């Protein structure tokens, strides 16, 4: 497979499983906000996967990437490509967890007292 072709060649070489879109949160969130949360969650999973793969692959001068002067560049391109593909597939489920947490109802505004949950001990100050 030729190395040229950019993202189109990479996408053709590594098929991506499409996951059905999650329904919009209750209360009708804005489409732009939902898309921004999804993209942020996916990007975070991609960064995590790249860091994980970078630590997993050996740094020695042999093996998969050879020992030449460009081995580090090829290794970095490999880590970026695999990490991006796995993040697009949401392989670890980290993006799903982040998305669910970010789509929860926001915290009450500052200055508004928050009622403690039932059974929670409350320290009273004078």
Dist. CA 93–CA 45, nearest whole Å: 8
Rounded to whole angstroms, how far apart are CA atoms 96 and 102? 10
- 16 in a structural domain: no
Query: Phi and psi (nearest 5°) for 68?
Result: -75, 180
| CA 100/CA 38 separation, integer angstroms | 9
Q: Has residue 51 been placed in a domain?
A: yes
| C-alpha angle 10-11-13 in degrees, rounded to nearest 5 | 65
pLDDT digits (tens, 9 = 90+) for 52-106: 999 988 776 667 777 777 888 888 899 999 999 999 999 899 999 999 898 886 6
In a domain, 7, yes or no: no
- Residue-wise pLDDT for 27-49, tens only, equals 445 788 889 999 999 999 999 99
Structural domain total, the chain:
1
Answer whether residue 111 is part of any domain: no
Question: Is the residue at 98 inside a domain?
Answer: yes
Give SS3 for 18. coil
């Amino acid at each position: 497979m030729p190395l040229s072709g950019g993202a189109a060649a990479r996408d053709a070489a590594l098929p991506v499983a499409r996951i059905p879109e999650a329904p919009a949160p209750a209360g009708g969130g804005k489409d732009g906000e939902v898309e921004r949360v999804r993209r942020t969650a996916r990007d975070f999973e991609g960064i995590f996967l790249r860091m994980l793969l970078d630590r997993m692959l050996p740094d020695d001068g042999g093996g998969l990437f050879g020992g030449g002067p460009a081995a580090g560049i090829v290794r970095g391109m490999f880590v970026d490509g695999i990490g991006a593909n796995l993040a697009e597939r949401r392989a670890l489920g980290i993006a799903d967890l982040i998305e669910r947490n970010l789509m929860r109802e926001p915290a009450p505004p500052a200055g508004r007292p928050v009622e403690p949950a039932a059974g929670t001990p409350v320290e009273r100050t004078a």
